[in-house]
Structure 1
Amino acid sequence: MLIFLICLSCVCVVALVWMTLAWRRLKQTAAMDRGSRRRGIEGAFVQAGPYRMFYRVARCHAHAPRRLPVVLVHGLVVSSRYMEPLAYALKRDFDVFAPDLPGFGESPLARRRDALSLAQLADALHLWLNACGVKRAMFVGNSFGCQVLADFAVRYPQAVDRLVLQAPTPDPRARSLPRQAWRDWINGLRERPHTPAKAGRIDYAKAGLWRAFATMRMLVREPVDERLPRIAAPALVVVGTRDPVAPLGWGAEAARKLQHGRLMTIEGGTHTLNYAAPNAFAFAITPFLKAGAVGV
């Protein structure tokens, strides 16, 4: 029995060391890789108020009317890393920007355990726009990114031409961490083999577990449905028919709450259309985005 306990202890220690080293390697993952650059996506830093923010940019080189840029806002704990497939799909028609909000991806916060509030994240997005010289844009958010954009659109309406809210969270009928975790697990099974799990592991390591948990609590405590009726910009709610996190019924309700909202469904789509089905998503929303104002 003693030998068994000693062996079990050794196995646990080895597993803990391995997990620690793997976590550190994930934290050290480079912001960009060769695949990103082959797709015409570049990365840059800008000082946005007190925040040093990283962002990805994919430029449109087509001979077309110069439109307002499209800004992609990432979801819970992740970063612009998992928005790259959508950026690549949209750059045929638009200049596309995708920032890492402060505390996530390559946009660090001064203290490891700091976590910005929803309003602070929206303020940071506005500071980033100003730092990049973008006065007005079209925005696409996924999941928790829709919560950030809803707050942003209410308080900075002059900066918003139109919004695409893809799988907005949380569904009012699942406003608890256990329910969200269960639905997310089901979604991961449905998205295989195109799940963003690998990119997610990198971003969770960079954000840290403390900030990840604090942001998860924010997701369930900040009801997006209370902000939707105050959004004046045209808005498109996009929901996949196989999304367990933001199901079709909730998507239809969210669209009705908006002043100028409508619903679009993508057959067979899941929660992270920006990663799991970027071409279908981009094809579906491009007509709505092309109806936006012409840029300068």
Structure 2
Amino acid sequence: MDAAIDAPQSRYYHSQGLRLHFTDWGNPQAPPLLLVHGGLDHSRSWDHLARALRRNFHVLAPDLRGHGESEWATGSSYSLADHVYDLTGLVKAAGFENVSIVGHSMGGMVSLTYAGVFPEKVSRLVVLDGVTNYPARQVKPADVRIAEWISDLDKLAQRKIHRYASLADGAERILRRNRHLTRAQALHLATHGLKQNPDGTYSWKFDPYLRARAPYRLSLDDHIGLWSRIACPTLLVSGSESFLPDPATAGVMKHFENAELARIEGAGHWLQHDKPDEVLDLLKKFFDQAESK
């Protein structure tokens, strides 16, 4: 396929006064599919999957606020609700009535929340290592959460932005973080995840204040209530080497009405990068099965 034809389009919409970016892979006559990235990531990390899925879907991959090409929300705590609101804005801006969603990590939690609030708007849902709240998790008291948040903000205010001499140096940092990646994958992620500074160096595009977790978060009961409202076929995928608990043993499945599990051996938290072909096969089978029901 010609590179120019194969390339996705950059598009924008506005949410709460922010100019937010999304990557549009075309095929507008096909059913819409949203690919929602995780924290400190960007929409172009989905390229391998999006390029394959565009044959059957109109694929849109948003840059969540504070990420990628989207504007930073200065003074924001980047709460889950903020991201969900932005997702509703994207669905409206695109004119979609009903969407399928694949979300990774934090993007998985955003997707789960959106599907729980608007179950009639989601036809199929896949969460890649994104159930980050589970019954056994110990939640710190509110005073501790707020105090830690304040401390984190003060530290971030003093933190110097790291500068890389080249995109290759940024790719090396990504490789050190995830041993499963190839050098080509890391360079692709760095190319779309770094911005060039006036002095010729490179820095990450994401807002550093994304590292400070908002102290006002949904409770476990809130999440369970949302999960129980999700009506569409749902697939929760975990990696055998992930740092997150396996949903099969974490006590979350009983709170879903129509969910199934899949586990990918040899994959860590970034499933779509570690085992992209296995993830793609799972997605295709799941979408085909859901379509036939």
The TM-score, its normalising length taken from structure 2, stands at 0.70
Report the Cα distance in structure 2 between the residues aligned to 1:247 and 1:39, rounded to whole angstroms.
Answer: 37
Partner of 2:207: 208
Match of 1:238 in 2: 237
Shift of 1:162: 1.3
RMSD in angstroms over aligned alpha carbons?
Answer: 3.5
Choose which of 44, 51, 65 in structure 2 pairs with 1:88.
Answer: 51
Alignment of 1:108-147 (within 5 A): 108-109=71-72, 111-147=73-109
Name which of 36, 49, 69 aligns with 2:32: 69
Residues 228 and 257 of structure 2 are in contact (CA less than 8 Å); yes or no, is this contact kept in structure 1? yes
**Of 16, 40, 56, which residue of structure 1 is paired with 2:7?**
40
Between the two structures, name the one with larger relative contact order (CA 8 Å, sep ≥ 6).
Answer: 1
Change (3 A) 1:144 1:222: farther
- Write the distance in 1 (CA, Å) between the matches of 2:88 and 2:291: 19
Matched, 1:287 2:285: yes
Bigger drift between 246-255 and 66-75 goes to 246-255
Indicate conservation of the 8 Å contact 1:73/1:140, yes or no.
yes
Tell me the SS of whatever aligns to 1:268: coil
> How many Å separate the matches in 2 of 1:252 and 1:89?
32
Summarize deviations over 1:178-228 as a string: whole Å, max 9, x none.
xxxxxxx9x944424367573686388322222x222x4569876585332
Q: Which has the larger Rg?
A: 1
Report if aligned partners of 2:31, 2:56 keep a CA contact under 8 Å in 1. no
Q: Which residue of 2 aligns with 1:161?
A: 123
Residues 119, 229 of structure 2: 8 Å contact kept: no
**2 CA distance for matches of 1:202 and 1:123?**
26
- Report deviation, 1:251: 6.8
Residue 258 of structure 1 and its aligned partner are, at CA, apart by 1.2
Shift of 1:91: 1.8
Structure 1, unpaired ranges of 5+: 1-34, 178-184
Residue in 2 aligned with 1:107? Answer: 70
- 2:42 counterpart (62, 68, 79): 79
TM normalised by structure 1 equals 0.69
SS at match of 2:194: helix
Q: Which position in structure 2 is the counterpart of 1:11?
A: none
Aligned partner of 1:198 in structure 2 is: 190
Q: Does 1:170 align with 2:108?
A: no
Instruction: Give the partner amino acid of 1:202.
Output: L
Structure 2 CA distance for aligned equivalents of residues 155 and 279 of structure 1: 31
Report the CA distance between 1:105 and its aligned residue.
1.3
**Judging changes above 3 Å, is the alpha-carbon distance between structure 1 residues 37 and 116 closer, same or farther for their aligned structure 2 residues?**
farther
Distance 1:162 1:208 in 2: 31
How many residue pairs get matched? 245
| Structure 2 match to 1:3 | none
User: What does residue 26 of structure 1 align with?
Assistant: none
Query: How far is the alpha carbon of 1:259 from its aligned partner?
Result: 1.1
Higher helix proportion, which one? 1
CA distance in 2, matches of 1:253, 1:198: 36
